[in-house]
Structure 1
Amino acid sequence: MQPSPRDVIAAARAGLGGVPRVRLGVRQEGRRILGFGRALRIVPVGEAWHLGVLLIGDDEVYATGEILRARAEAIRGYTAESQRARSERAAAAVRGGFAEGEAVHLDWSPVDLDAVAAGGSSGPLSLDDGVVTVAFAAGARMPLAAYLDDRIALLP
């Protein structure tokens, strides 16, 4: 009998004891004060271990979203509007309380381990022929336990 998704994640958590975590952030629209709007901020809401396409928290598992480095706002020239928007999000992270240079995880989404155990899928995880698998790198799939073992082995 194959281990359940919760068992696989619990085994990974046990192997991550001394490994540093990354912080998760969410966008917080600025409140209006005296009719003037405040700039967007990205505020911290939790911590998790980053293992490729997964973020593993104390109680939850998330699919990785956008990752950026917090940095102070500065006037820069951009060749693409997407670069400008990314720079604005990096500055919003500093305004929200992240240290300059700190990795910020945005747009992560919860993974429902019970749905996967019941034979469905959630985020990058699914149950294929009784084995919990994870989709990574252009849709390649491998067993979740082996994926997490590989990722943990790569950590410093």
Structure 2
Amino acid sequence: MNVEKILKTDKKIPLERRTIIHFSLVHNKISDTANAALRPFGVSIQQFNVLRILRGQKGRPANLSTLNERMVTKMSNTTRLVDKLILKGLVDRKVCPSNRRKVEIRITEEGEKMLLQMDKAMEQAENEILANLDRDDLTKLNALLDKF
């Protein structure tokens, strides 16, 4: 990915600025590819993340606080994400019998089935995103990103 070529400039961009622009361009490519993979399922990347968290609960309920803590993208509208997933029949929400202030959220059987299909689509998207990187490149890249 040549930053100057993408920005259509002949001007030399300083290394620090070029690095930040690179991050932004890579973020956009990842988002665009992931969103395209999930589009046929009618879910956003954030909704996909909620479904994966709930699957990881292995049948145990989660509450909004748990979802917020484990989200890749931290956001305050987790309630809205869950509401949309409920309307699609992918999760359900119940009031905890022992503590009526606590809400328990679980992935439905339909949500589990659809998530398996989404996993395949996302795996293809990830392979597309990382196609130009070999294992050694990925190891080095992860080591550099860990410095953040």
TM-score normalised by length of structure 1: 0.21
Indicate the structure (1 or 2) with the bigger Cα radius of gyration: 2
TM-score normalised by length of structure 2: 0.22
- Name the structure where strand makes up a greater proportion of residues: 1
- Name the structure where helix makes up a greater proportion of residues: 2
